[in-house]
């Protein structure tokens, strides 16, 4: 009875769990007649790190592109910090600023220096003074360990360095959520680690992250939750250790056996 009482007291003191950072509630999406997302139900809580994996064409990119409205869903609801994405465009602009995205193909502006790449959006989308945006950019380039490259052009950098610039550029908008779409898939093997290390550092600072990746070592070390998609569905979502050692679904087992 005593232990029961302490339990109750502890529960009462525990703050109410914050609203999800991202919530998919019965989301469907079609490209024309093609049903690409099927009844997605998923919650990502503040500070959570979610790794999404699954075969090519299973809908992983589409799923995360829906979070910042690069793609629109047709049925169900997506909420980002409680704001439903079918809300007014002004609200969606605000959500977009809170959600940073990093792509497989870096997508840096080739005619701008590293520093200009980083300072561009804060100046034009947020109205930050150029000087202030450049100070912020310098700080974030230092954080991704590339401060000395600030005045180079993207083509003068290695792939790993370009991807770290892309991460710094996204961070310059002070996002609350970061989305990564196969950020290391276009890199030579020797550059994968430096990018994963940057992402691991970000995760350890409590950033809310969804990472589409097949880097299973990263998933095991960093993810709070692994989501396995196949054919537009979330087939399995749960603890990384359980997923890797004892996947519950045959499709997940097949996928993992092909990775090894």
Tokens of 151: 């005045």
Tokens of 50: 């979610």
Smallest distance, Å, CB 22 to ligand ADP? 17
**Numbers of helices and strands, H then E, in the chain:** 10, 10
| Pairing of β 75-80 and β 83-84 | antiparallel
Residue that is written with structure tokens 């003074």 in the block: 129
Tokens of 230: 């196949």
Q: How many CB atoms lie within 10 A of CB 181?
A: 21
57 binds ligand ADP (CB under 6 A): yes
Q: Segment 15-34, which members bind ligand ADP (CB under 6 A)?
A: 31, 34
Smallest distance, Å, CB 156 to ligand ADP? 30
* For ligand ADP, the closer CB: 24 or 173: 24
36 binds ligand ADP (CB under 6 A): yes
Residue that is written with structure tokens 């002070």 in the block: 174
Inter-residue contact 225 to 20 (CB < 8 Å)? no
Angle at Cα 214 formed by Cα 209 and Cα 220, nearest 5°? 65
Partner in contact with 154, chosen from Mg ion, ligand ADP, none, beta carbon below 5 to 8 Å by kind: none
HSE-CB for 140 with a 13 A CA cutoff: 25
Contact segment (CB under 6 A) with ligand ADP among 56-64, 96-104, 156-164, 197-205 equals 56-64
Q: Segment 32-61, which members bind Mg ion (CB under 5 A)?
A: 61
- Out of 60, 73, 79, 164, point to the residue binding ligand ADP (CB under 6 A): 60
Q: How many CB atoms lie within 10 A of CB 59?
A: 23
Tell me, by CB under 5 A, how many residues bind Mg ion. Answer: 1
178 binds ligand ADP (CB under 6 A): no
Nearest-CA neighbor of 40 among 49, 30, 104?
Answer: 30
* For ligand ADP, the closer CB: 113 or 184: 184
210 binds ligand ADP (CB under 6 A): no
Q: Segment 62-91, which members bind ligand ADP (CB under 6 A)?
A: 62
162 binds Mg ion (CB under 5 A): no
Partner in contact with 36, chosen from Mg ion, ligand ADP, none, beta carbon below 5 to 8 Å by kind: ligand ADP
Smallest distance, Å, CB 89 to ligand ADP? 21
- Out of 20, 40, 48, 59, point to the residue binding ligand ADP (CB under 6 A): 59
* For ligand ADP, the closer CB: 106 or 255: 255
Three-state SS annotation for 96-151: HHHEEEECCCCCCCCCCCHHHHHHHHHHHHHCCCHHHHHHHHHHHHHHCCCHHHCC
Residues making contact with Mg ion (CB under 5 A)? 61
- Residues binding ligand ADP (CB under 6 A): 31, 34, 36, 54, 56-62
């Amino acid at each position: 009875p005593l232990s029961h009482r302490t339990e109750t007291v502890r529960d009462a003191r525990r703050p109410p769990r914050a609203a999800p950072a991202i919530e998919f509630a019965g989301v469907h999406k079609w490209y024309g007649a093609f049903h690409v997302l099927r009844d997605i139900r998923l919650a990502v809580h503040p500070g959570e790190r979610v790794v999404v994996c699954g075969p090519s064409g299973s809908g992983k990119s589409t799923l995360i592109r829906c979070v910042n409205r690069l793609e629109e869903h047709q049925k169900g609801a997506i909420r980002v910090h409680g704001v439903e994405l079918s809300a007014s465009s002004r609200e969606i602009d605000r959500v977009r600023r809170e959600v940073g995205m990093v792509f497989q193909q870096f997508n840096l502006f080739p005619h701008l220096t590293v520093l200009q790449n980083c300072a561009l959006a804060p100046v034009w989308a947020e109205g930050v003074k150029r000087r202030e945006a450049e100070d912020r950019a310098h700080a974030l380039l230092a954080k991704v360990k590339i401060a000395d490259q600030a005045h180079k052009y993207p083509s003068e950098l290695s792939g790993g360095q370009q991807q770290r610039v892309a991460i710094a550029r996204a961070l310059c908008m002070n996002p609350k959520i970061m989305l990564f779409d196969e950020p290391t898939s276009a890199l030579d093997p020797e550059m994968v680690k430096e990018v994963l290390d940057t992402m691991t550092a970000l995760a350890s600072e409590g950033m809310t992250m969804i990472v589409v990746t097949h880097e299973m070592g990263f998933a095991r070390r960093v993810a709070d939750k692994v989501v396995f998609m196949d054919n537009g569905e979330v087939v399995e979502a749960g603890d990384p250790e359980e997923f890797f050692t004892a996947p519950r679904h045959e499709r997940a087992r097949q996928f993992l056996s092909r990775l090894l």
